[in-house]
Structure 1
């Protein structure tokens, strides 16, 4: 199936079946338009021509172009959704976006996140500090935020 037709089908399905908000649909539409531009620049026209290594390269290209981590995460989410739709419809045999790691935000230290999650769940005292390798960066005023510089 042609990539443009697959994108149109997917967006229509999101609008009618998932009943996403218009803002979310617009964001997905923009993200999938970027995907289509990148694919056309590589000479790809069909959805089954998408490969994991291409998607990873495009993620890196978008990052170098200044796209932030959250925007990259949304772009990858839109691509994953499109490919999952392609799996359900039989256009794809595997989801090429599944192997792509979620872009991490600047202060997205896994050990701090896990520590923060444990602290939140256990209701530990606010005097606790982060135990990640970079030292005590716990910000007691924002229990959900990781202030770790790594």
Structure 2
């Protein structure tokens, strides 16, 4: 299996009322997050966001529905996941995107990655996510949300 690229997306899925979809990771309980995933080959990052959304939730959207925040942050890759990257790779650059859905919906969870999902208010989501970069993006959601 080829190594993952240390370039990824964070995709916040939300409603106009700022209810946010969170997924619980399989590796350890109570590790909630937004949709995330690494770029594959040379795909555009917005394509990575659309692909990961479909793979992790079954939700299909048009590229125009995805908002590129033009924001990224570097973070240290958790030790538990470093084996997925080339030897010596310790940091990842994460690019932030969001997509607004008309309302809360059922999803098709990717059982290989996540064990359950919840829709919660954005303020509650900030407290639930394990990733500091995910929490920071959620704090910015109200000002970035086109319908809010």
Q: TM-score, normalised by structure 2?
A: 0.25
Higher relative strand content: 2
Q: Which has the higher relative contact order, 1 or 2, with Cα contacts under 8 A spaced 6 or more apart? A: 2
Higher-Rg member (1/2): 1
Q: TM-score, normalised by structure 1?
A: 0.24
